[in-house]
Chains A and B, each alone.
Chain A
Amino acid sequence: MKKKIIAIMLVLLLICLTACNTGSGNGVSSNASASDNNSGTDSQEEGGNATAEDNDPFGKYENPVVLKIGRSIDPLQVYPEGQSPESNQYTDYIKEQLNIEIEVIWSAAAGNDYKQKVNLAIASNDLPDAMVVENAQMRNAVKADQLEDLTKAFDDYVSPVVKSFFDATDNQAVSDVTFDGKMVAYPNTSVAASGIHNMWIRQDWLDELGLEAPKTMEELKEVAQAFLDNDMAGGGNTIPIAGPDTNGKLYANFLASGNNTYGFDPIFSAFQSYPGYWIHNENGEVVYGSITSETKDALAALADLYASGLIDKEIGIRERTEEIVKAGKTGMFFGPWHAVYSWLDVVQADPTVNWQSYLLPLDSDGEVNLHMNAVTFSYCVVRKGYEHPEAVIKMANLLVRDEQTFDVSVLPVADYPLRVNNAVRDECEFTVSALRDVLNGDKTLDDFTDLEKQVYKLLVSDINAVKGVKTEPYDDMNIANWNFDGDNSTAWGRTYALLVGCGPIVDTEYNEVYSLLYAQTPLMESRWVNLKKLEDETFLKIIMGIEPVDSFDAFVDEWLDIGGADVTAEVADTVS
Chain B
Amino acid sequence: MRNKRFTRQYYLLLIPGFLWLLLFSIIPMFGIVMAFQDFNPGKGIFGSPFIGLDNFRYMLKLKDVKSIFFNTVFISMLKIVANLAVPMIFALLLNELRYKKLAKPIQTIVYLPHFISWVVFASILLNIFGYNGPINTILSMFGVDPVLFWGRPNLFPYLVAGTDVWKEFGYNTIIYLAALTGIDPGLHEAAALDGAGRFRRLLHITLPGIKTTVILLVVLSLRNVLNAGFDQIFILYNPLVYSTGDIIDTWVYRMGILNMQYSLSTAVGLLKSVVSLILISTSYFLAKKFAGYNLF
Contact flag (A, B; Cβ within 8 A) = yes
Which A residues form the contact surface with B (CB < 8 A)?
3, 10-11, 14-15, 18-19, 22-23, 25, 112, 115-116, 119-120, 122-125, 136-137, 140, 143-146, 246, 313-314, 316-319, 525-526, 529-530, 533, 536-537, 540-541, 544, 546, 562
**B118 — which chain A residues lie within 8 A by C-beta?**
none
Residue of B nearest to A3 (CB): B11
- Quick one: which of A25, A119, A120, A317 contacts B150, CB cutoff 8 A? A317
**Could you tell me if B261 and A526 are in contact, using CB atoms closer than 8 angstroms?**
yes
What are 28 A-B residue pairs whose CB atoms fall within 8 Å in the complex? A3-B11, A11-B26, A14-B22, A14-B27, A15-B27, A15-B30, A18-B30, A19-B45, A22-B45, A25-B42, A119-B257, A123-B41, A124-B41, A125-B42, A125-B44, A136-B260, A146-B41, A313-B131, A313-B146, A314-B148, A316-B238, A317-B130, A317-B131, A317-B240, A526-B261, A529-B261, A537-B240, A544-B240
**A22 — which chain B residues lie within 8 A by C-beta?**
44-46
Q: Compute how far the CA of A411 lies from the CA of B170 in the bound complex, rounded to whole angstroms.
A: 47
Which 5 pairs of residues, A with B, have the shortest CB-CB distance?
A144-B42, A22-B44, A144-B41, A536-B239, A145-B42
B273 at the interface (CB under 8 A from A): no
Of the stretches B56-64, B200-208, B218-226, the one at the interface is B56-64
B117 at the interface (CB under 8 A from A): no
Q: Compute how far the CA of A146 lies from the CA of B64 in the bound complex, rounded to whole angstroms.
A: 32
A246 to chain B, nearest CB (A): 5
Given contacts A529-B254, A529-B259, 18 further A-B contacts (CB under 8 A): A15-B30, A18-B27, A18-B30, A19-B45, A22-B45, A23-B44, A112-B258, A123-B39, A125-B42, A125-B44, A313-B148, A314-B151, A316-B238, A317-B148, A318-B130, A530-B62, A530-B64, A544-B151
B51 to chain A, nearest CB (A): 12
**B146 — which chain A residues lie within 8 A by C-beta?**
313
**B64 — which chain A residues lie within 8 A by C-beta?**
530, 533
**B42 — which chain A residues lie within 8 A by C-beta?**
25, 125, 143-146
B281 at the interface (CB under 8 A from A): no
**B39 — which chain A residues lie within 8 A by C-beta?**
123
**Could you tell me if A140 and B41 are in contact, using CB atoms closer than 8 angstroms?**
yes
- Quick one: which of A112, A119, A316 contacts B240, CB cutoff 8 A? A316
Beta-carbon contacts under 8 Å, B26-49 to A: 26-27, 30, 39-47
**B25 — which chain A residues lie within 8 A by C-beta?**
none
A123-B260, A145-B42, A562-B63 known; A314 and B240 CB under 8 Å?
A: no
Q: Compute how far the CA of A11 lies from the CA of B255 in the bound complex, rounded to whole angstroms.
A: 32
B59 to chain A, nearest CB (A): 11
- Quick one: which of B43, B58, B258 contacts A526, CB cutoff 8 A? B58
A175 to chain B, nearest CB (A): 23
B233 at the interface (CB under 8 A from A): no
B165 at the interface (CB under 8 A from A): no
Residue of A nearest to B253 (CB): A116
Q: Compute how far the CA of A124 lies from the CA of B44 in the bound complex, rounded to whole angstroms.
A: 8
**Could you tell me if A116 and B258 are in contact, using CB atoms closer than 8 angstroms?**
yes
**Could you tell me if B240 and A533 are in contact, using CB atoms closer than 8 angstroms?**
no
Q: Compute how far the CA of A530 lies from the CA of B61 in the bound complex, rounded to whole angstroms.
A: 12
In this complex, the member of A3, A144, A525, A536 whose beta carbon has the largest number of chain B beta carbons within 10 angstroms is A144
Residue of B nearest to A250 (CB): B239
Main secondary structure of the interface of A (DSSP, over half): helix
Which B residues form the contact surface with A (CB < 8 A)?
11, 22-23, 26-27, 30, 39-47, 58, 62-64, 123, 126, 130-131, 146, 148, 150-152, 238-240, 242-243, 254-255, 257-262, 264
**Could you tell me if B123 and A319 are in contact, using CB atoms closer than 8 angstroms?**
yes
B25 to chain A, nearest CB (A): 12
**B260 — which chain A residues lie within 8 A by C-beta?**
119, 122-123, 136-137, 140
Q: Compute how far the CA of A435 lies from the CA of B232 in the bound complex, rounded to whole angstroms.
A: 51
**A144 — which chain B residues lie within 8 A by C-beta?**
40-43
**Could you tell me if B23 and A319 are in contact, using CB atoms closer than 8 angstroms?**
no
**Could you tell me if A314 and B239 are in contact, using CB atoms closer than 8 angstroms?**
no
For the A-B complex, the count of residue pairs with Cβ-Cβ distances under 8 Å equals 107
**Could you tell me if B46 and A23 are in contact, using CB atoms closer than 8 angstroms?**
yes
B11 to chain A, nearest CB (A): 7
**Could you tell me if B257 and A116 are in contact, using CB atoms closer than 8 angstroms?**
yes
Residue of A nearest to B55 (CB): A526
A112 to chain B, nearest CB (A): 7
**B58 — which chain A residues lie within 8 A by C-beta?**
526
**Could you tell me if B239 and A540 are in contact, using CB atoms closer than 8 angstroms?**
yes
A317-B150, A529-B261 known; A125 and B41 CB under 8 Å?
A: yes
A11-B22, A119-B257, A529-B255 known; A143 and B40 CB under 8 Å?
A: yes
Q: Compute how far the CA of A17 lies from the CA of B45 in the bound complex, rounded to whole angstroms.
A: 13
Residue of B nearest to A139 (CB): B260
Q: Compute how far the CA of A524 lies from the CA of B211 in the bound complex, rounded to whole angstroms.
A: 54
Residue of B nearest to A528 (CB): B259
**A112 — which chain B residues lie within 8 A by C-beta?**
258
B153 to chain A, nearest CB (A): 8
**B126 — which chain A residues lie within 8 A by C-beta?**
317, 319
A78 to chain B, nearest CB (A): 22
**A11 — which chain B residues lie within 8 A by C-beta?**
22, 26
**B43 — which chain A residues lie within 8 A by C-beta?**
23, 144
Residue of B nearest to A22 (CB): B44
B27 to chain A, nearest CB (A): 6
Q: Compute how far the CA of A144 lies from the CA of B150 in the bound complex, rounded to whole angstroms.
A: 40
Q: Compute how far the CA of A314 lies from the CA of B264 in the bound complex, rounded to whole angstroms.
A: 33
Q: Compute how far the CA of A263 lies from the CA of B238 in the bound complex, rounded to whole angstroms.
A: 16
Residue of A nearest to B39 (CB): A123
Q: Compute how far the CA of A513 lies from the CA of B86 in the bound complex, rounded to whole angstroms.
A: 58
**A544 — which chain B residues lie within 8 A by C-beta?**
148, 151, 240
**Could you tell me if B131 and A541 are in contact, using CB atoms closer than 8 angstroms?**
no
**Could you tell me if A115 and B11 are in contact, using CB atoms closer than 8 angstroms?**
no
**B148 — which chain A residues lie within 8 A by C-beta?**
313-314, 317, 544
Q: Compute how far the CA of A102 lies from the CA of B39 in the bound complex, rounded to whole angstroms.
A: 32
**Could you tell me if B30 and A314 are in contact, using CB atoms closer than 8 angstroms?**
no
Q: Compute how far the CA of A319 lies from the CA of B257 in the bound complex, rounded to whole angstroms.
A: 22
Q: Compute how far the CA of A10 lies from the CA of B151 in the bound complex, rounded to whole angstroms.
A: 53
**Could you tell me if A314 and B131 are in contact, using CB atoms closer than 8 angstroms?**
yes
**Could you tell me if B47 and A546 are in contact, using CB atoms closer than 8 angstroms?**
no
**Could you tell me if A115 and B258 are in contact, using CB atoms closer than 8 angstroms?**
yes
A539 to chain B, nearest CB (A): 9
A14-B27, A15-B27, A544-B240 known; A316 and B151 CB under 8 Å?
A: yes
Q: Compute how far the CA of A317 lies from the CA of B240 in the bound complex, rounded to whole angstroms.
A: 8
**A19 — which chain B residues lie within 8 A by C-beta?**
45-46
Q: Compute how far the CA of A544 lies from the CA of B148 in the bound complex, rounded to whole angstroms.
A: 10
**Could you tell me if B240 and A540 are in contact, using CB atoms closer than 8 angstroms?**
yes
Q: Compute how far the CA of A112 lies from the CA of B130 in the bound complex, rounded to whole angstroms.
A: 24
In this complex, the member of A3, A317, A529 whose beta carbon has the largest number of chain B beta carbons within 10 angstroms is A317
Q: Compute how far the CA of A515 lies from the CA of B35 in the bound complex, rounded to whole angstroms.
A: 35
**A116 — which chain B residues lie within 8 A by C-beta?**
257-258
Q: Compute how far the CA of A11 lies from the CA of B23 in the bound complex, rounded to whole angstroms.
A: 9
Q: Compute how far the CA of A526 lies from the CA of B265 in the bound complex, rounded to whole angstroms.
A: 11
**Could you tell me if A314 and B44 are in contact, using CB atoms closer than 8 angstroms?**
no
Q: Compute how far the CA of A119 lies from the CA of B259 in the bound complex, rounded to whole angstroms.
A: 8
Q: Compute how far the CA of A454 lies from the CA of B44 in the bound complex, rounded to whole angstroms.
A: 45
**Could you tell me if A122 and B131 are in contact, using CB atoms closer than 8 angstroms?**
no
Residue of B nearest to A121 (CB): B41
Q: Compute how far the CA of A314 lies from the CA of B131 in the bound complex, rounded to whole angstroms.
A: 7
Q: Compute how far the CA of A3 lies from the CA of B7 in the bound complex, rounded to whole angstroms.
A: 12
Residue of B nearest to A237 (CB): B132
Residue of B nearest to A246 (CB): B238
B120 to chain A, nearest CB (A): 14
Residue of B nearest to A535 (CB): B239
**B63 — which chain A residues lie within 8 A by C-beta?**
530, 562
**Could you tell me if B238 and A14 are in contact, using CB atoms closer than 8 angstroms?**
no
**Could you tell me if B238 and A317 are in contact, using CB atoms closer than 8 angstroms?**
yes
**B242 — which chain A residues lie within 8 A by C-beta?**
533, 537
**Could you tell me if B151 and A546 are in contact, using CB atoms closer than 8 angstroms?**
yes
